[in-house]
Amino acid sequence: MHRLAFLLTACLVFVLWAGTPHAETEQGESGQPVPRFVSLRADEVNLRTGPGSRYPVEWVYQRRNMPVEIVAEFDVWRKIRDWQGTEGWVNKAMLSSRRTVLMTGEVRPLRRDRSPASTAVARVEPGVIARVLKCEETWCKVETGGYEGWILKTESWGIRAEERLE
C-alpha cells in the first residue's frame, strides 16, 4: 500500500511539474529558440486569433519596431506576446530580428556609462522604443532619438535578465 501511495505521489508531482511553465527555451519549427524577442517590422501588423489568414484579426499594432516575444511557432505563423501580456498570431514576414526594448516605469536617464552615477545624456519617457546595441550583465547600450547611452535591463521590456548581446 505504501508503494502505491509513493507511485501516485510521484506521478502527481511529475504531472504538476510538466504543466508548469519553465524558463528554459526550446527550439521552434524555425530552428530558433522559443521564447525569444523580436520586433514588429511594419507600421501596421495584424494580430490574429489563430495561425492563419482565415482567423479573425483581433488587434492591429501600429507601432513599428515595438518589441514582442515569440512564444510559439506554426508553419509561417508566430504566436507573440506584447509587453502588456496580449497574445495572438502574426505572419513571420511582419517580424524583424532587430532587437528593441520598450522603456517602462517612469522617466529614466539614458546614461553616458554603465553606472548609476554616470551623467545622463538624455531622459527617456515610458513607452519610448530604443534599439539595442549591446547588453552586458545588468546594462544595455541603446539608441533612441539620436542619443546613445546605457540603461539598466530592469528599466525596459524586451530583453531577458540573463541575456547578453554583442
Final residue belonging to a domain, choices 98, 114, 142: 98
Cell of 89: 498570431
Final residue belonging to a domain, choices 61, 81, 98: 98
Residue 163 lies in a domain: no
CB atoms under 10 Å from CB of 52, counted, come to 13
Task: Kindly state the greatest CA–CA separation across the chain.
Answer: 71
Residue 114 lies in a domain: yes
Does the pLDDT at position 21 exceed 70? no
Does residue 122 share a domain with residue 86? Answer: no
Mean model confidence pLDDT for the chain: 88
Q: 130 near 101, Cβ under 8 Å?
A: yes
Does residue 45 share a domain with residue 33? Answer: yes
Could you tell me the residue range of the domain that residue 124 belongs to?
101-157
Residue 3 lies in a domain: no
CATH code for position 133: 2.30.30.40
How would DSSP label each residue in 78-130? EEEE-TT--EEEEEGGGEE---EEEE-SS-EEEESSSSTTSPEEEEE-TT-EE
Q: Output the pLDDT for position 28.
A: 84
Does residue 88 share a domain with residue 36? Answer: yes
Residue 12 lies in a domain: no
Q: 117 near 83, Cβ under 8 Å?
A: no
Count: domains in the chain:
2
Residue 92 lies in a domain: yes
Q: Output the pLDDT for position 26.
A: 85
Residue 10 lies in a domain: no
Final residue belonging to a domain, choices 48, 72, 98: 98
What is the value of pTM for the model shown? 0.82
Does residue 109 share a domain with residue 86? Answer: no
Residue 7 lies in a domain: no
pLDDT tens digits, 102-153: 999 999 999 999 999 999 999 999 999 999 999 999 999 999 999 999 999 9
| DSSP one-letter code for 46 | E
Residue 105 lies in a domain: yes
User: Is-cis flag, bond preceding 35, omega within 30?
Assistant: yes
Amino acid at 123: R
